[in-house]
Structure 1
Amino acid sequence: MQQLTIGKNQAGQRLDKFLKKAFPNAGTGFLYKMLRKKNITLNGKKAEGKEILAQGDEIKCFFSEETFASLSGTENRETTSDYRKAYRSLKDISVLYEDEDILLLNKPAGVLTQKAKPEDLSLNEWLIGHLLATDAITEADLATFHPSVCNRLDRNTSGIVLCGKTLSGSQALSRIIKDRTVKKYYQTICKGKIVQESTLEGYLYKEESTNTVKVYADPSEAPAEASYIRTIYMPNAVAGDFTLLTVELLTGKTHQIRAHLAGTGHPLLGDTKYGDNKLNRRMQSEYSLHHQLLHAGRICFPKEAEGPLAKVSGQTFTAPLPHKFAEILQALNLAPDSAC
């Protein structure tokens, strides 16, 4: 007999969902059969699988050691080497805020938020490596729950990424991202003079084969799969032929800020996908800029946040501008917005 005790990271989910994570090599039908035959029990009693687990609940499994190891995959479970390697090797990532349920990380440009290929190391691996290194989680915890980033930034976009340490923290962050009650503000330098605040609307279509998007102003011209988008931008400073903007995402789609501004004739500096090639070459030559200047610099949590987010309810968090961004601001005589 083996016993599994439910911890904070496993609480709040259905028993059958937990069992699928604990025994990835077992079929769903097999697990329900084990529940019916009381080979798996919850707190010493027969269970159906739909019960919501609470911290401290005890699940007993009347399996042989060999069967338990085979069903749970402990015989060939991946090690934590990738997480520890990412924590050691990915540089300039900083923790802006951390409590028992969530973290806010400041991602530098050039680091993936999540893996694109199996061999990649990303912010997500760094996060788990950090939690292992600080004893916030154990290797055993990873059998049934993986802390994870809850929003994504492009590889070459810097700034704040929201991360869940616990299941309840991840669920709470995902809810406020989905219902758009968390406010996300970006800073960027774009080509051209913008002197008034404006709201852009359009329909964004992603071409998967090229990983590019196109924004349509007229919905009748957009493909049926296109998504409605809204972007607010506010000029903070204008100098020469450049504008420092604060941008609020009212919707969050792939490359939304980059494509939306480029479509209005104001591409981001350094954006090789949607930008001005001649201007980008100048920025590369003069400032060694090889990526778009886009920084997720401010996050505002909703005032009514409760539960795992109670500690950050109504709070605003900021991430300092990367050195390269600040250097170019100074060189172009653009003063950064003190609010970001």
Structure 2
Amino acid sequence: MRVLKVSAQEEGQRLDRMLDKYMQLAPRSFFYKMLRKKNIKLNGKKADGSEKVTAGDEITLYLADETVESFRKQTPQKAQRTKNTGRKSMNIPVIYEDQDILVLNKPVGVLSQKADRDDYSLVEWLEDYLGKDAAQTFRPGICNRLDRNTSGLVVAGKSIHGLQWMNRLFRERNLKKYYLCLVHGAVKGEKKLHGFLKKDPKKNIVTVLKSPENGTVEIETRYQPLQVVFWEGESYTLLKIHLITGKSHQIRAHLASIGYPAVGDVKYGRKGKAEQKFRLRSQLLHARQLELPEEEYLPSLYWNKIFIADLPRKFAQVLEDMGVDISDI
């Protein structure tokens, strides 16, 4: 016999879903059979699997330990986390934290999620940061992703509820996402860009098209020039960007497609005086601000909440050396 106690991080999910996460190799039919035969009970009572569990609930498995363990497996993520414990000291600034969510300021060079087996990303850092707790089936996760060399705000869920709330906001585009980006050229006036993004997965590069084609996704980007400077014989503009759709490489490719590539962007940009002078190897693009809406499914403490992430030191230094006033940014 084994007793699983539902933690605060796990509450809100269906009983059958929790069982599925705990015994990953077992078919769903096995759970329903055991529930019907009362070999699995919820708080000492018969259940059918559709019940929503709450913190403190007890799930009793009247099964041999050998049976339970035969249906469990160590996930590759957990195995990799063990290998990378020496890197859990990675410095990730925490902007906000409560019992359900975390808001982080991702540095340049840090992966949002693994690209290769040996990578140590925000997902692994998150597990190391939170440490081991009472949760047996819940795994914290991030709700939005940034390119490796884009810095700024990333939201993570510490509980089932937190993941559900934040994932829904990003999925339904019910929150506002603002970026700061330094681009080549003198940009005049606010503008809303519309296009269709096509990705080449082999080269990990995207192209922005004016008309839809097979395999394209529709994208929208708004920008507002904050300051234009003339430095070392060339013009540069600091843009405030409202990312509406949020697709891979969207901002970088969209700006480059209209002739204003991000400074430091080795994939979609060009190597100019700024790149050489400041030895830039990554784009000066920063997820600066998130604004949450008033939604009925959100706890009121999140209504109209605004998160702001400080600029990376390198980005701020480049702006200051170019004469850009960052006091009001």
**TM-score after normalising by structure 1:** 0.90
- SS of 2:45's partner is coil
Quote how far apart the aligned CAs of 1:69 are.
Answer: 2.5
Q: Residue 87 of structure 1 corresponds to which residue in structure 2? A: 88
Aligned partner of 1:154 among 147, 150, 155 = 147
Structure 2 residue 283 is matched with structure 1 residue 289: no
Identity %: 43
Q: Against the structure 1 CA distance between its residues 74 and 124, is the aligned structure 2 distance closer, same or farther, given a 3 Å change threshold? A: closer
Q: Residue 52 of structure 1 corresponds to which residue in structure 2? A: 52
Q: Distance in 2 between matches of 1:227 and 1:79?
A: 33
Q: Residue 289 of structure 2 corresponds to which residue in structure 1? A: 298
Structure 2 residue 300 is matched with structure 1 residue 310: yes
Structure 2 residue 316 is matched with structure 1 residue 326: yes
The residue type paired with residue 104 of structure 1 is V
Q: Is the 8 A contact 2:81 2:124 kept in 1?
A: no
Q: Residue 265 of structure 1 corresponds to which residue in structure 2? A: 259
Q: Residue 31 of structure 1 corresponds to which residue in structure 2? A: 31
Structure 2 residue 198 is matched with structure 1 residue 205: yes
Q: Distance in 2 between matches of 1:267 and 1:111?
A: 22
Q: Against the structure 1 CA distance between its residues 167 and 333, is the aligned structure 2 distance closer, same or farther, given a 3 Å change threshold? A: same
- SS of 1:299's partner is strand
The residue type paired with residue 72 of structure 1 is R
Structure 1 residues 134-283: aligned runs within 5 Å: 137-138=132-133, 140-141=134-135, 143-217=136-210, 219=211, 222-240=212-230, 241-276=235-270, 278-279=271-272, 282-283=273-274
Q: CA RMSD for the aligned pairs? A: 2.0
Q: Is the 8 A contact 1:82 1:121 kept in 2?
A: no
Q: Residue 119 of structure 2 corresponds to which residue in structure 1? A: 120
Q: Against the structure 1 CA distance between its residues 195 and 54, is the aligned structure 2 distance closer, same or farther, given a 3 Å change threshold? A: same
Q: Residue 131 of structure 1 corresponds to which residue in structure 2? A: 130
**TM-score after normalising by structure 2:** 0.93
Quote how far apart the aligned CAs of 1:75 are.
Answer: 12
Q: Is the 8 A contact 1:189 1:242 kept in 2?
A: yes
| Structure 2 residues not aligned, in runs of 5+ | none
Count of residues paired in the alignment: 324
The residue type paired with residue 8 of structure 2 is K
The residue type paired with residue 102 of structure 1 is I
Map Cα deviations across residues 230-270 of structure 1 (whole Å, 9 max, x no partner).
Answer: 10000000012100000001111011100000000000001
Q: Against the structure 1 CA distance between its residues 337 and 273, is the aligned structure 2 distance closer, same or farther, given a 3 Å change threshold? A: farther
Map Cα deviations across residues 26-70 of structure 1 (whole Å, 9 max, x no partner).
Answer: 222222221121111122222221222222222111111222222
